[in-house]
Amino acid sequence: MTNILLDLNILLDYYEEERRERFPASVEVFEFLKQKDFVFISGSSIDNFEFMKYNLLKIEYPKMTRKQVLQIVHAMIKEFLSYFKIAKTPSYIELDYEDIEDSQVIASAKAVNAQVVTRDRKMMEKYPDHTISPENFLKTKNQQPATSIDFANLKKQYFIYQPELEKEMDMVLNNTSYIMGDAVVELEKNLQTFTGAKYAITCSSGTDALLLAMMALDIKPGDEIITTPFTFIATAETIAFLGAVPVFVDIDEKTYNIDATKIEAAITEKTKAIMPVSLYGQPADIDAIQAIADKRLKTKNQKLHIIIDGAQSFGATYKGKTDSNLGDISTTSFFPAKPLGCFGDGGAVFTNNEKLATKIRSLRVHGQSKRYHHQYIGMGGRMDTLQCAIVNVKLKYYKKDLALRQEVAKKYNQKLKTKNQKLTTPTVEENRTSVWAQYSIQINANDQEPTTRDQLQKELKTVGIPTAVHYPIPLHLQECFKYLEYKKGAFPIAEKVSEEIMSLPMNPYLSDEEIEYITQTL
């Protein structure tokens, strides 16, 4: 359903006995929309409502004081504002001096991508593409497709936090500290508190966070970094970008993360780091990986750094600690669809090591130690103040969002486990939590029933259920890594999982009905 903005006449119809009788469609529209999201009223309608309603009531109840009448009117305003959001009058409004009020309502509606429900004939004639009568709205509302599920539902999240987001964004735009403004400093403090990591350094993306981490550790051409082939390209791409060599190790069948038991065999004298990825939001077996690094240091005096690619796992825990607070350096991404996303690109690097933190801060600003003094070859890797302001708002509610994600995953697990033996539901190890960046199931293939993932995805799409595949080709088989000379069959588990994995819609707002619909359909 598209967004809706209610015109003043609908509000007045609802709040007046005589009009309620004459215009029942307005009342029905109001009642229907008060339980829906994405319904607005124009800011300009509020004072008009007060003015008109006050005058009407004053005629009806001449003995009432001004204060008494206003009390009644304000109770009405408070009530409709508890259902509907305010759409502001945008500064780019084209005022129509023949009807200023109408042009304000239309401009507000356009700003929030809404259609105006109105009984105003003149407005409907003038703005036919942006208006609809209550009667027609009631007809079309019943023609809406039964189900159309949103995969990540960023729209709902924006709607929920819109007033705070708008306020923070306005503040940044007005004070013009677009780079390294107050919100950046504030976010870094908030990230430290949330994760328990001593140092949090925001940066331009999850990809750049990985680059900064490796640059801080002096990763050089020819160095080897052990990682998983079952991840987003950025993990290994950044290694290769620095001229280092990604050395892949197969994954654990249950968690889809790097199989720590296979790491040792891949270590050579050139190995400089191990880079586990917290795939779908669940950390890898960090203790086991740390033990391997510790053993190598002890037996061969070779330091292996641990860099955690936590792009998908902000807030996830391993034995009670967030994975941002583990390893030598940990990174994350604030890409919009991540559990904690901004409105563009953004990321962060975490460490408990002061020297590394200082170096990462410098590398993020062209290796600068002080203005125009460049100690290192660095990069332009800062996160915009605007994006930091957005994450600051969302971070306030992140624990609540995570709890809702947990609930959704739990319900999926319960419904799918009992219903369908052909699907493997995700496993989260006892000592870990996942933030459910994805809820991914495996469509089990066998000789009699070769995998039907593609067909399943197509069929689900036709009934309004979006799905995605994270990821269809393991990295060792990607064209860009041909030069590494891995062959098909090198990592059988990663290869099998990439053929069978499929992500279902996952966001904090999936309703019980939607989960039931998805699981029943599956």
Ligand X SMILES: Cc1ncc(COP(=O)(O)O)c(C=O)c1O
Least separation in angstroms between CB 347 and ligand X: 5
**β-pair partners for 503:** 440, 468
Q: What is the C-alpha to C-alpha distance for residues 249 and 294, in angstroms, rounded to an integer?
A: 19
| Stretch (H or E) spanning 350 | strand 347-351
Least separation in angstroms between CB 288 and ligand X: 20
Q: What is the C-alpha to C-alpha distance for residues 392 and 381, in angstroms, rounded to an integer?
A: 19
> Strand 368-370 relative to strand 373-374: parallel, antiparallel, unpaired?
antiparallel
> Of 190 and 235, which has the nearer Cβ to ligand X?
235
Least separation in angstroms between CB 312 and ligand X: 5
* Contact between 257 and 251 (Cβ < 8 Å): yes
Least separation in angstroms between CB 233 and ligand X: 8
Q: What is the C-alpha to C-alpha distance for residues 18 and 60, in angstroms, rounded to an integer?
A: 12
> Of 50 and 237, which has the nearer Cβ to ligand X?
237
> Of 208 and 223, which has the nearer Cβ to ligand X?
208
The Cβ of residue 432 has, within 10 Å, a number of other Cβ atoms equal to: 22
> Of 134 and 283, which has the nearer Cβ to ligand X?
283
Nearest residue (beta carbon) to ligand X: 206
Q: Cα separations (Å) of 354 from 27, 169, 199, 329, 488?
A: 62, 32, 7, 11, 43
Query: Residue type at 165?
Result: L
| Stretch (H or E) spanning 443 | strand 439-443
The footprint of ligand X (CB under 6 A) covers 205-207, 231-232, 234-235, 277, 309, 311-312, 333, 335, 345, 347
> Of 330 and 333, which has the nearer Cβ to ligand X?
333
> Of 112 and 277, which has the nearer Cβ to ligand X?
277
Coil, strand or helix: which one is 471? coil
> Of 45 and 207, which has the nearer Cβ to ligand X?
207
Query: What's the per-residue H, E or C state across 245-270?
Result: EEEECCECCCCCCECHHHCHHHCCCC
> Of 137 and 232, which has the nearer Cβ to ligand X?
232
Least separation in angstroms between CB 337 and ligand X: 8
Least separation in angstroms between CB 100 and ligand X: 44
> Strand 368-370 relative to strand 271-275: parallel, antiparallel, unpaired?
unpaired
Per-residue exposure over 439-474, b if at least 16 CB sit within 10 Å of its own CB, e if not: bbbbbeeeeeeebebeebbeebeeebbbbbbbbebb
Coil, strand or helix: which one is 319? coil
Least separation in angstroms between CB 203 and ligand X: 9
Q: What is the C-alpha to C-alpha distance for residues 341 and 88, in angstroms, rounded to an integer?
A: 24
Q: Calculate the CA 340 to chain-centre distance.
A: 5
Least separation in angstroms between CB 472 and ligand X: 14
Q: Cα separations (Å) of 380 from 172, 242, 363, 407?
A: 20, 16, 8, 39
Question: What are the tokens at 132?
Answer: 């609809």
> Of 103 and 278, which has the nearer Cβ to ligand X?
278
> Of 80 and 350, which has the nearer Cβ to ligand X?
350
Least separation in angstroms between CB 284 and ligand X: 11
Least separation in angstroms between CB 150 and ligand X: 19
Start-to-end C-alpha separation, the chain = 24
